[in-house]
Structure 1
């Protein structure tokens, strides 16, 4: 099992939205490195749900990958902000995963807390200028995040 971190703006789609819906396709990723990370995910991998672009950014909960190699449907929808006119149904460019809600943390693990426990090399979301919305998390870091979420 591997660990990952997915970022989303909570006013667009937050952990409570996932809790209510139970599962979702993680669509709209339009960065090739992030897309490649999505393609590397396996069923059963655990994913930290990070709220970004908010007054209090941080890790808000946990979800699990339940389906891989999902074609992102937004790439074919001309009304979508994520429409890609270069992508074709017979040769999709953008792939993703389906995730399932596991838990919302009682308290968001904010940037201050994360910076106290991890370096930018350990937790990529702490890197200055990092804009990736999908990134791997090493097992030791993931275990520490899970411990912090319980306290």
Structure 2
């Protein structure tokens, strides 16, 4: 099993949106960065756990945990001219972008803030705490995942 951090803007799709969905499951669409896409396409697998991270909001940080329940498949929004994720270079025969399905595992009682994460001396490898890392999908070491979850549950 692998561990990941997926970023989303909570006013677009936050953990609360996942919590109210049928079976608390939804697709994670709209990834338009090639490195993040490659993680989704090549490395994210069913059963992997995801730190659900709220970005670009008042309470930036880890809001909960999700599990990958369906591996990468073509992101339908790339074919929709009305979608903000439309890609005119993509076609059903040659899709450029993928998405995965995730299911809510746990919503934390409060967001583990980015400031708190950066203040944890044992969190050194997570790209989130390094300068210049802006990916929406990033791997998390198992040891760091466990420490972040333990801190978030306090």
**TM-score band, normalised by the shorter chain?**
over 0.9
Aligned length: 151
In 1, Cα distance between equivalents of 2:121 and 2:135: 18
| Counterpart in the other structure of 1:14 | 14
Distance 1:118 1:54, change over 3 A: farther
Residue equivalent to 2:149: 146
Q: For 1:7 and 1:46, how far apart are their aligned partners in 2?
A: 14
Query: How high is the TM-score relative to the length of structure 2?
Result: 0.94
- Mapped contact 1:70–1:98 kept (Cα < 8 A): no
Taking structure 1 as the reference length, the TM-score comes to 0.95
SS state at 2:119 partner: helix
Which residue does 1:132 correspond to in 2? 135
Q: Output the aligned Cα RMSD.
A: 1.3
**CA distances 1:91-111 after superposition (whole Å, capped 9, x unpaired):** 111112100111110111001
> What is the CA–CA distance in structure 2 between the aligned matches of 1:119 and 1:89, rounded to whole Å?
44
Which residue is 1:3 aligned to? 3
Structure 1: gaps spanning 5 or more residues: none
SS of aligned partner of 2:69: strand
Separation (CA, whole Å) in 1 of partners of 2:17 and 2:89: 31
- The one of 108, 113, 134 equivalent to 2:111 is 108
Counterpart in 2 of 1:90? 93
Report the Cα distance in structure 2 between the residues aligned to 1:34 and 1:41, rounded to whole angstroms: 10
Distance in 1 (CA, whole Å) between partners of 2:122 and 2:6 is 18
SS at match of 1:144: helix
Q: Which runs of 5+ in 2 are unaligned?
A: none
Q: 2:123 & 2:38 partners in 1: Cα distance?
A: 21
Deviation at 1:128? 2.4
